[in-house]
Amino acid sequence: MKSLKNKTVLITGASSGIGEATAKLFAQNGARLILIARRKNLLLKISKNLKSQFKTEIKTIQLDIRSYKKTASVINNLPEEWKKIDILVNNAGLSRGLNTVQNSKIIDWEEMIDTNIKGLLYLTRLILPDMIKRNSGHIVNLGSIAGHFTYPAGNVYSATKFFVNSFTQGLRMDLLGTNVRATSIDPGLVETEFSIVRYRGDKEKAKRPYEGMTPLFGKDVADTILFAVTRPLHVNIQELIVMPTAQASLWHVHREKK
């Protein structure tokens, strides 16, 4: 098992859910963290707690990764002691609405595409050249079971996750001959803020996907990320699909009757 001691890890979408859980687990294992998210107050709170618990170095950055100009400025102007990024966790992502194509809102499509696809591309393109130059690094892209099978009204969200799956496959081919690794982590049902964001704050609707079953939680996915990045250098976990025990596929979920 590779040590994360003093490794610099950049995590996007770090203010809640899988991102927050990954930050905590990596801090616990001795990593230095660059935490990126849009919500500055939550980032500062998480940073304060992790520094107190684990005495690790943390740099927080309020950033909307949908803007290439702003993202490039942040990455290109990192202080010298933070420039060497060993692990990039492209976790930021979201779903907006659950509508058929003919009834969808263009603004929802744009937000999903700009975050789930473009934001991931921007960070990867900005950080990867230095990893290749050092012949060392690991990129972890958070996909979804929806990147393997689509579902009714999941059209554009699912398409963005198919992109993550396909892009990560292509990335591995481009990196062949280097020691830079690339992994996609594709969870099933995970209870985070995902559904609250999808339904724009409607907490009743957001509860429904998890009713009658025990879903995954952010820390479960964080465990799989930790596993992938701590394998020996000659081992690359290309893809991990992780599901709750109560979920057999995108469409098959066992729910206890009330």
Backbone angles phi, psi at 23, to 5 degrees: -60, -45
* pTM of the shown model: 0.96
d(CA 30, CA 256): 40
d(CA 51, CA 62): 18
**What is the pLDDT averaged over residues 100-125?**
97
119: DSSP letter: I
Find the DSSP H helices in the chain.
17-28, 40-54, 68-76, 106-112, 120-134, 155-174, 194-198, 203-207, 218-229
The pair of structure tokens assigned to 179 is 């020691």
- Selecting among 68, 122, 151, 157, the annotated active-site residue is 157
Asked if residue 249 belongs to a domain, the reply is no
**What is the pLDDT averaged over residues 206-228?**
94
Asked if residue 257 belongs to a domain, the reply is no
d(CA 37, CA 203): 22
For the cut 80, the answer to whether the pLDDT of residue 193 exceeds it is no
Q: For residue 192, what pLDDT is reported?
A: 83
Q: How far is CA 100 from CA 49, 108, 112, 170, 251, in A?
A: 42, 12, 15, 30, 18
Asked if residue 248 belongs to a domain, the reply is no
CA 85, 89, 94: angle at the middle one, nearest 5? 145
d(CA 254, CA 237): 29
The structural domain count of the chain equals 1
Is position 199 annotated as part of the catalytic site? no
Using the structure block, give the residue that is written with the tokens 């707690």.
Answer: 49
Domain coverage including residue 139:
8-242
Asked if residue 1 belongs to a domain, the reply is no
For the cut 90, the answer to whether the pLDDT of residue 97 exceeds it is no
Q: Any bridge partners for residue 60, and if so which?
A: 35
Q: For a pLDDT cut of 90, what percent of the chain falls above it?
A: 90
**What is the pLDDT averaged over residues 212-241?**
97
Nearest to 31 by CA among 13, 15, 48, 51: 51
Asked if residue 256 belongs to a domain, the reply is no
Asked if residue 186 belongs to a domain, the reply is yes
Q: Return the CATH number at 191.
A: 3.40.50.720
State pLDDT tens for residues 127-155: 999 999 999 999 999 999 999 999 999 99
Asked if residue 258 belongs to a domain, the reply is no
Q: For a pLDDT cut of 70, what percent of the chain falls above it?
A: 100
Q: How far is CA 24 from CA 50, 222, 249, in A?
A: 7, 9, 29
Q: Report the amino acid identity of residue 104.
A: S
Asked if residue 63 belongs to a domain, the reply is yes
